[in-house]
Structure 1
Amino acid sequence: MTETIKDKLLLIFTKNPVAGKVKTRLAKDLGNEKALEIYKFLLNHSAKFTAAVNATKQVYYSDSVNKDDIWNNELYSKKKQLGEDLGERMQNAFQNGFEENYKKIIIIGTDMYDIDSTDIENAFQDLENHEYVIGPAEDGGYYLFGMKSLNSDVFKNKEWGTSSVLQDTLQDLKNKDVKLLETRNDVDLLDDIKDHPAFQKYITI
């Protein structure tokens, strides 16, 4: 049976771009306005490369859905994240996707610059032969997570935003078939971007 776009769902978790609420660790070095500029730059990159992904795409906003922004309403359906913490919010998004009968679901954030549509397409392909796919981040978290059926354990008992998330998640999946992708660096700290050519215009004085 030929796989269709209806079989694949890409969940994109994003924060509403508000100064003082995004990239707070960057803001400690660069200030709230610069941090917001960088986050908007990352949002634009995310909207550009995900548009080319051959899958249904849903953008989940942290605070409120914006029908008039960079996410094209014809390419993305828009929802609000629901849950007390990040884990519960992700679990609810995956659960909704599986209830809508998607066969493969992948979630990403909007903190990455060194990622493109091919990475997402390859991750969906990896789900052909594996139960789970994870893109490890250099800070000990992950930048991509995908699965073919709901496993709620991976979203519970985690200290989100810390260096233990990946290892704790792998521990939950220790007897499962997991494909680990290439480790990538997401953008949280000044050290993450200070030597990256794409960000020089934001950090040079």
Structure 2
Amino acid sequence: MSGVLYVAAKAPRAGFAKTRLGKAIGDDAALRLYRAFISDLAARFATAPFPVGWYVTPADAWPEVAALLPVSDGGARVVVQPVGDWAQRQAALFQGAAQRGEDRTALVASDSPQLTIAVVQRALALLSTCDVVLGPVHDGGYYLIGMR
């Protein structure tokens, strides 16, 4: 199987998604921005040459996330995030990859609206020869993590 990209997405609910940003600009404004992030990512990756899945929380979030997609995707890969901190939830996605038949899996958060198909293709290609890839950011974190 080719590599798979998952986008981590919270239910688009005021006070639930983008809570730190909401404290600065208000929950409604943060929610509008978050919805735009999801829509922009979905539109960009609708033509990707690799499968795109959604890593959602809470368990009932998928219908709300799906409503933001520019194209109905009834066949989307949807994986529900388990309870735990972000590191535990990331680990769970990668641990389940083999069960889902994925040999190369990448994960991004939904707040990377400028992420390109080419960047993800490069990360997935690197996973053919590397066990782990990271897309670093200036603050010491990362915008993409991939594993095989």
Instruction: Please tell me the TM-score bracket, short chain as reference.
Output: 0.7 to 0.9
SS at match of 2:134: strand
- Counterpart mapping for 1:1-205 below 5 A: 6-63=1-58, 64-67=60-63, 68-71=66-69, 72-74=72-74, 76-148=76-148
Q: Residues 75 and 120 from structure 1, CA distance in 2 versus in 1: closer, same or farther, beyond 3 angstroms?
A: farther
* Aligned-pair CA distance for 1:97: 1.3
Q: Residues 137 and 31 from structure 1, CA distance in 2 versus in 1: closer, same or farther, beyond 3 angstroms?
A: same
Counterpart of 1:90, as a letter, is Q
- Structure 2 CA distance, aligned partners of 1:88 and 1:26? 23
* Number of aligned residues: 143
* Aligned-pair CA distance for 1:22: 1.6
Higher strand share: 2
Counterpart of 2:49, as a letter, is N
Q: Residues 77 and 119 from structure 1, CA distance in 2 versus in 1: closer, same or farther, beyond 3 angstroms?
A: same
Percent identity between the two aligned chains: 25
Counterpart of 1:117, as a letter, is I
What TM-score do you get using the length of structure 1 for normalisation?
A: 0.63
Larger radius of gyration: 1
Q: Is the 8 A contact 1:83 1:92 kept in 2?
A: no
After TM superposition, the runs of 4+ consecutive aligned structure 1 residues lying more than 4 A away are none
* Aligned-pair CA distance for 1:84: 1.6
RMSD of aligned Cα (Å): 1.8
What TM-score do you get using the length of structure 2 for normalisation?
A: 0.85
